Amino acid sequence: MADAERPSRPRWRAPGLLWALLPVAVTAGLFWYGRAHTPDYTSSLFGRRYDDANQLKAQLGTALLGLAVVQLLLALWMYGRLPGAAAAPRPVRTGHRLVGLAAFLVSLPIAYHCITAYGVQLTDSRIALHSFAGCFLYGAFVAKVIVVRHRRLPGWALPVTGGALIVLIALLWYSAALWYLNGYHVPGL
């Protein structure tokens, strides 16, 4: 029987499944570490402790939210979804990537301090929301990198993963930076 006449067998899709499980593993790993780790409330962030560290994290978190908004606007411009804007010039793509890198780098010291100083806590709704959003943020980041690198994925995957990152950053800002800057109170939590 010639190759053209043989019935095609389904190809094993393990690599695709492994790529899909990687964001889940990152999220689960952060959650596990945050729950198993003994919090160190005296830990410092760039030499600042306690309320000074919270103030610095609120400022960095606000910068992160600003970078996320810029990232969203650049993405909308690149894909022709920004109302009233002409086609995006090529440097917009580079700017989008650089802003994304800056956002990722700004998030790292905040996340490091949160997970080492506090871990994952589920004591009240604000803290639980913040803990879950923090764990999911890096899983969503891994998912977005995978979607950007694998061109065979459906067209809706990129805006969904990018949108998830924006929403998670906004939730983190709302449940921590706004809470701190608003005198330890946020509406709804």
Show me where the domains of the chain are located.
20-181
Residue 6 pLDDT > 70, yes or no?
A: no
What's the confidence (pLDDT) of residue 2? 53
Mean pLDDT over each residue of the chain, to the nearest integer: 87
Task: Work out the pLDDT band at 188, boundaries 50, 70, 90.
Answer: confident
Percent of the chain predicted with pLDDT > 70:
91
Residue 145, SS3? helix
Q: For 117-168, how does the pLDDT look when each residue is reduced to its tens digit (9 = 90+)?
A: 999 999 999 999 999 999 999 999 999 998 888 878 888 989 999 999 999 9
- How far is Cα 160 from Cα 171, in angstroms, rounded to an integer? 16
